A and B are shown apart, each in its own frame.
Chain A
């Protein structure tokens, strides 16, 4: 059982987001970078499956050298080895194309991603990989088990869940509730230093999307306070002033 986990490196969830160079670039100053939280769930689930099926877990990241501390953290959490594709992760299709090339060479049984990255919020890599590799893809998964060589998964749907059976190989994306993320222990941190981290050069395929500029949401005009003794007025205002209820 060989499992590939795709991780992206994103600004910490508490980061204040700002831009520089006339709003064309993300301002990384003072920002701490972490493994995308959903990708951490994917990694933990992969380790659980690998442990009970005598498998191995490889993590892959498309990113520049500054992603390596996060990749080492994934190794400390328990991945066996890591691959970094040395390129800026410009858009989802570019990233998926790089990962698909490596996946084709290595015949993984299961590929896991996070539901989406919390920076670009695309949620595309799972489906893109499925199609590029011509294997099934299941998005936004909250349960995942391996039973008699088949995947049993539960995915979120609008207003509920769907339970599915799926053959392997396949690609799935992790959603909250899939598992509790693991924290690296001291032994993991020590061993991560010597685990293999291979750097590959990217395919020279073009990116399809260009991020032209960014903007921040407009600040609110200020809050109108309502007296707690007359709280019902809130609904009157929503009806009469805003005409929304």
Chain B
């Protein structure tokens, strides 16, 4: 019996969320006496030994026709096939956009139950904690099926170094073009930007920033701290910032180590998306802003007086 993990990579570079999923799998495997197999699909140029370090006992690198670009149909087929060959009882897939596309398909192929949004290891009764009510609560959910698929929230499990030397196996699996009904036409990515869901520090702006032309300050601070940028719902609704930066109940849910909110009052819907952050810092000129109640650190002041001070200090700390 084994646990298999989808080791997602971007043009050969493994995602941090894949290492989190492997760490989670190895910690789980240790309690159940199982082995962890990482599945790498498509050409991954980077060092497959990295996967052993973060928890894989075995790495299966699958190459073949129609596996170099992501498609939910082909990738879920490969994952389910390997899970069957490896006699896997548990499949761990990180809840990234691609992970979310394949996890439910893999579950159906295997006849497995599935829980998405998992944030902790299973308890003795095999119930796991998952986010619910858009982070306003957590639920303990138990799967009744023998086979289980868990999709793990990025940034919810800390990466460990196990230093295992994984057995590496390369296999070929060709997927017939007639089995794939989607065709990728174009991929556009903002280069050099840290994905919001993986960022350890996030600097976020709200209506208090007064207009899109002032985002240079947010971006400068974020750049100095190695942070991703985010925004509140009104800011995204007014098109000051793209919707993929919107964090909150109807936007993205994030759980960075540090969340710095500037000019955001802290409506209940916004809090839902960020309340799992380890440390919340709120900067608002209204001392009565509800966000201060949910914060660890607060500064009452105007964004345009505070931000330059933070930028100056960040430069100092960086040197």
Give chain A nearest CB distance to B58 CB in angstroms: 26
A245 with B144: CB separation less than 8 A: no
Interface size for A (C-beta < 8 A) is 83
- The answer to whether A165 and B185 touch (CB under 8 A), given A128-B104, A177-B243, is yes
Stretch from A79-87, A189-197, A219-227 at the B interface: A219-227
Residue of B197, B250, B283 touching A118 (CB-CB under 8 A): B250
The closest CB in chain B to the CB of A225 belongs to B298
Residues of B near A214 (CB, < 8 A) are 132, 137-140
Q: Could you give, for residues 87-123 of chain B, a 1 whenever the CB lies within 8 Å of some chain A CB and a 0 otherwise?
A: 0000000001110111111011100011111000000
Interface centre among B132, B201, B269, B302, by most chain A C-beta atoms within 10 angstroms, is B132
The closest CB in chain A to the CB of B154 belongs to A158
Asked if B258 is at the interface of the complex by the 8 Å CB criterion, the answer is yes
B137 with A226: CB separation less than 8 A: no
Asked if B32 is at the interface of the complex by the 8 Å CB criterion, the answer is no
The closest CB in chain B to the CB of A230 belongs to B309
Which residues 91-106 of A have a CB within 8 angstroms of B?
91-93, 96
A226 with B144: CB separation less than 8 A: no
- The answer to whether A213 and B140 touch (CB under 8 A), given A130-B105, A235-B310, is yes
Interface size for B (C-beta < 8 A) is 98
Give chain B nearest CB distance to A108 CB in angstroms: 15
Residue of A139, A159, A238, A244 touching B190 (CB-CB under 8 A): A159
Which residues 149-163 of A have a CB within 8 angstroms of B?
152, 155-163
Which residues 129-188 of B have a CB within 8 angstroms of A?
130-145, 180-188
The closest CB in chain A to the CB of B305 belongs to A228
Cα separation A228 to B97 with both chains bound (whole Å): 39
B108 with A159: CB separation less than 8 A: no
Interface centre among B130, B141, B198, B295, by most chain A C-beta atoms within 10 angstroms, is B141
Cα separation A92 to B143 with both chains bound (whole Å): 12
Give chain A nearest CB distance to B181 CB in angstroms: 4
B104 with A92: CB separation less than 8 A: yes
Cα separation A221 to B72 with both chains bound (whole Å): 43
Cα separation A217 to B275 with both chains bound (whole Å): 8
- The answer to whether A208 and B101 touch (CB under 8 A), given A131-B76, A162-B186, A166-B181, is no
- The answer to whether A93 and B107 touch (CB under 8 A), given A210-B142, A232-B310, is yes
Cα separation A124 to B125 with both chains bound (whole Å): 24
Asked if B61 is at the interface of the complex by the 8 Å CB criterion, the answer is no
B243 with A238: CB separation less than 8 A: no
Tell me if A's interface is mostly helix, strand, loop or mixed.
mixed
Asked if A135 is at the interface of the complex by the 8 Å CB criterion, the answer is yes
Asked if B238 is at the interface of the complex by the 8 Å CB criterion, the answer is no
Asked if A184 is at the interface of the complex by the 8 Å CB criterion, the answer is no
Residue of B130, B250, B293 touching A13 (CB-CB under 8 A): B250
The closest CB in chain A to the CB of B252 belongs to A156
Stretch from B37-45, B49-57, B211-219, B311-319 at the A interface: B311-319
The closest CB in chain B to the CB of A117 belongs to B134
Interface centre among A158, A211, A215, A231, by most chain B C-beta atoms within 10 angstroms, is A158
Residue of B115, B295, B306 touching A209 (CB-CB under 8 A): B115
The closest CB in chain B to the CB of A175 belongs to B243
Asked if A2 is at the interface of the complex by the 8 Å CB criterion, the answer is no
Which residues 113-146 of A have a CB within 8 angstroms of B?
118-128, 130-132, 135-140, 142
B184 with A164: CB separation less than 8 A: yes
B279 with A238: CB separation less than 8 A: yes
Residues of A near B313 (CB, < 8 A) are 231-232, 234-236
Cα separation A160 to B293 with both chains bound (whole Å): 33
Asked if B68 is at the interface of the complex by the 8 Å CB criterion, the answer is no
Give chain A nearest CB distance to B118 CB in angstroms: 11
Residue of B97, B102, B139, B201 touching A245 (CB-CB under 8 A): B201
Cα separation A220 to B265 with both chains bound (whole Å): 17
Q: Could you give, for residues 288-301 of chain B, a 1 whenever the CB lies within 8 Å of some chain A CB and a 0 otherwise?
A: 00001111111111
Residue of B114, B236, B306 touching A208 (CB-CB under 8 A): B114
A156 with B131: CB separation less than 8 A: no
Give chain A nearest CB distance to B114 CB in angstroms: 6
Asked if B278 is at the interface of the complex by the 8 Å CB criterion, the answer is yes
Asked if A170 is at the interface of the complex by the 8 Å CB criterion, the answer is yes
Which residues 181-216 of A have a CB within 8 angstroms of B?
206-216
Give chain B nearest CB distance to A55 CB in angstroms: 20
- The answer to whether A237 and B139 touch (CB under 8 A), given A127-B102, A165-B183, A165-B185, is no
- What residues make up the interface of B, taking CB atoms closer than 8 Å to A? 10, 15, 72-73, 76, 96-98, 100-105, 107-109, 113-117, 125, 127, 130-145, 180-190, 193, 195, 197-198, 200-201, 225, 236, 243-244, 246, 249-251, 253, 257-258, 268-269, 275-276, 278-283, 292-302, 305-306, 309-310, 312-314, 316-317
Q: List 21 A-B contacts (CB under 8 A).
A: A93-B113, A121-B116, A121-B135, A136-B73, A136-B181, A137-B105, A156-B244, A157-B98, A158-B98, A160-B187, A163-B185, A166-B181, A207-B144, A209-B144, A210-B142, A210-B143, A224-B297, A226-B299, A228-B302, A231-B313, A235-B314
